[in-house]
Amino acid sequence: MASLLRTLNCSSLFFQMDCDLYYATEQEDQYGKIKKEWFFDMIEPCSFYTLGDQSNNNNFTFMNDDSMDQFYKLETMLYGRFQSDPRKSSDGTYYPLSHILVTNIRGSTCNTETFFIETNGGYEARPTIFEIKTCQPFVGPFNTVEYYKIQLERSDTQELNDVVSC
């Protein structure tokens, strides 16, 4: 927890947001069931966005049966970047993507408004929990990693305690 806050810069062009990273450790219960225990590790500078309607097939689309017109669509994927590798925790331990959750995506230290909030299901007003689907380093022209490209998907379960069972 010594480096709880990585370098935060509210004037950063590429990382205008912050998010909370949670990591999981696995333990086996008395019946052999694997359980994940989640712990908060750090605040990460980031930037996320959704893509246009034709570019994301992983969403909920509701069609009007008469005209086959789309009348409602909910994006479940977010695309963006992290300043550093999210697989590496603040203590230097590497975790698989299945053991990382992202939540509380908000404005940087200059504006701390949370952007993705749950509105029903007993989780009203809580920040949305996302799972990392992909993490790829972006290597710049000088052969250095400039940032990590991230794809997030909204978790089916929006309670950390409910996400613990495998």
Highest mean pLDDT among 28-32, 67-71, 115-119, 126-130: 126-130
Q: What gap in Å lies between CA 110 and CA 13, rounded to an integer?
A: 13
Exposure of 160 in the CB half-sphere (CA atoms within 13 A) = 18
What average pLDDT does the segment 77-87 reach? Answer: 92
The pLDDT assigned to 33 comes to 87
Q: What pTM was computed for the model?
A: 0.76
Average per-residue pLDDT for the chain: 79
pLDDT confidence band for 156 (50 / 70 / 90): confident
HEC-encoded secondary structure of 63-75: ECCCCCCEEEEEE
The yes-or-no verdict on residue 65 having pLDDT over 70 is no
Of all residues in the chain, the percent with pLDDT exceeding 70 is 73
The pLDDT assigned to 55 comes to 42
Q: What is the pLDDT of residues 128-153, one digit of tens each?
A: 999 999 999 999 999 999 999 999 99
Of all residues in the chain, the percent with pLDDT exceeding 90 is 40
Cβ atoms of 43 and 103 closer than 8 Å: no
Q: Could you give the C-alpha distances from 97 to 22, 70, 78, 131, in angstroms and in order?
A: 11, 33, 15, 8
Domain ranges of the chain: 18-83+107-117
